[in-house]
Amino acid sequence: MVELVVVSGKGGTGKTSITGALAALAENKVLCDADVDAADLHLLLGPTVRERHEFRAGHKAVIDPTKCTLCGECLEVCKFNAVSETFAIDELTCEGCGVCVHFCPAGAIDFPESVCGEWLRSDTRFGPMIHARLGIAEENSGKLVTLIRKEARKLAEETGAQWIITDGPPGIGCPVIASIGGASAILAVAEPTVSGKHDLKRIVELAAHFRVPTLVCVNKADIYPEAAREIEVFAEEKGCVFVGRIPFDNAFTEAQVKGETIVEYKDGPGKKAISKLWEEVEKQVH
Partner 1 sequence: MVLTIASGKGGTGKTTVAVNLAVALQDRGVQLLDCDVEEPNAHLFMKPDIRETVSVTTEVPKIDAGLCNYCGKCRDICQFNAIAILPTAALVFPELCHSCGGCFRVCPEHATLPSARVLGEMEKGRRGPVEFVHGRLRVGEAMAPPLIRKIRGESARDRLTIIDAPPGTSCPVVAAMKGSDFIALVTEPTPFGLNDLELAVGAVRKLALPMGVVINRSDLGDDRVHKWLAEENIPLLLEIPFDRKAAEGYARGELLAEVLPAWKDMMLTLHGRIMEEMERQA
**Given the rule CB under 8 A, which residues bind partner 1?**
9-13, 16, 37-38, 40, 43, 58-59, 77, 79-80, 92-93, 95-99, 102-103, 134, 136-139, 141-142, 169-177, 191-195, 198-199, 202, 205-206, 209-210, 223-224, 227, 250, 253, 256-257, 259
Q: How far is the CB of 155 from partner 1 (least distance, A)?
A: 24
In whole angstroms, give the CA distance from residue 98 to residue 69.
18
The total of other beta-carbon atoms located within 10 Å of residue 162's CB is 14
Q: How far is the CB of 274 from partner 1 (least distance, A)?
A: 17
Cβ distance to partner 1 smaller for residue 30 or 221:
221
DSSP label of 82: -
Q: How far is the CB of 178 from partner 1 (least distance, A)?
A: 8
The total of other beta-carbon atoms located within 10 Å of residue 253's CB is 11
Q: How far is the CB of 1 from partner 1 (least distance, A)?
A: 26
What are 52's strand-pairing partners? 120
Cβ distance to partner 1 smaller for residue 2 or 165:
165
Q: How far is the CB of 10 from partner 1 (least distance, A)?
A: 6
Comparing CA positions, the residue from 170, 171, 185, 181 lying closest to residue 239 is: 185
Cα R_g (the chain), whole angstroms: 22
Distance of CA 8 to the CA centre of its chain: 10
Cβ distance to partner 1 smaller for residue 40 or 280:
40
Cβ distance to partner 1 smaller for residue 86 or 136:
136
